[in-house]
Amino acid sequence: MTRFGSTSTTDDVLEGVDLTDLKVLITGASSGLGVETARAVAAHGAQVFGVVRDVEKGRRNLDEVGATGVELYEADLASLDSVRSFTDKFLADGHDRIDVLIANAGIMACPQGKTADGFELQFGTNHLGHFVLVNRLAGTLVAGSPARVVMLSSSGHSFGDVDLEDPGFDNGGYEEWLAYGRAKTANVLFAVELDRRMRDRGVRATAVHPGGIMTDLGRHLTDDSLKALATARAGRKQAEWKSVPQGAATSVWAGFVADASDVGGVYCEDCAVSPVVGELTEPPGVMAYALDPQTARALWTRSEEMVGETFEP
């Protein structure tokens, strides 16, 4: 039973925890939750690597919160060439071990668009970019075992299950919140299948919902998209807004404090494992389809087909 909850902060969760000698990689460490996660983890002794689109912005924001010693690498998750270039450079620099990888970066409810590789922008960035990044660094996670992968998902996963027949909305019907929901469901399913494939080699994977936080993630929101969100959330109780340190707490809890056997292959929020529900009328909870092992395996296969790479443990 966790002693933490929805109002716990990163400092609460890590109080008295020594992360010295741990190597931690965090995507999206240039703003919001990523900066706070990097700050908190580095403050407790971990060696932190941040993966960001804009190194200058990342350095400025990390310096602003006193996150010293974070080594930054450039990568754009909306370009698989960029992701592959980053992983090649990271390994070439001699980094042969990762103890915890936190897949924090993402975009939300943006207008319809395509990644550099022609994938629907939200699915391609939030899921496929991380799918390639994590898998190409899988050997470093095995070297760091017991190691963990934390995938940032969202309660927005309830807006839609993955569509493996038409992941890019090529047949029409694009809706920004539906696309976001599918991408966030994919994040959970990726954690489920990654955990199944890697747990025998000492790597556990989990998905987390940070809660509602005001960050740069909402930069694409317009009056129309906010109205669409209200429609999508009709009938649900609105959870209270969290501060950034409260929002990053579940990532830190799942990555460093919770028992790995408790969080492996599941979905967490408010520093606890979430119950499985049939519908989300009020938080907390995870939709059953987001944890379906058969869908998770099918998504892995479809993702390999889309990115043109095959990944084995």
User: Catalytic site residues?
Assistant: 153, 180, 184
- Give the CA diameter of the chain: 53
Q: Give the full edge-to-edge strand order of the sheet including 47-52.
A: 71-74, 47-52, 23-27, 100-103, 147-152, 203-209, 267-269, 272-273
Please work out, in degrees rounded to the nearest 5, the angle formed at the alpha carbon of residue 105 by the alpha carbons of 125 and 286. Answer: 90
Q: Rounded to an integer, what distance in angstroms lies between the CA atom of residue 267 and that of residue 275?
A: 8
- Token pair for 213: 């936080």
For residue 70, give Cα distances in angstroms to 32, 185, 231, 301: 15, 30, 41, 34
- Token pair for 259: 């028992």
- CA torsion angle 80 84 87 93 (round to 10): -140
The separation between the first and the last C-alpha atoms of the chain, rounded to the nearest angstrom, is 31
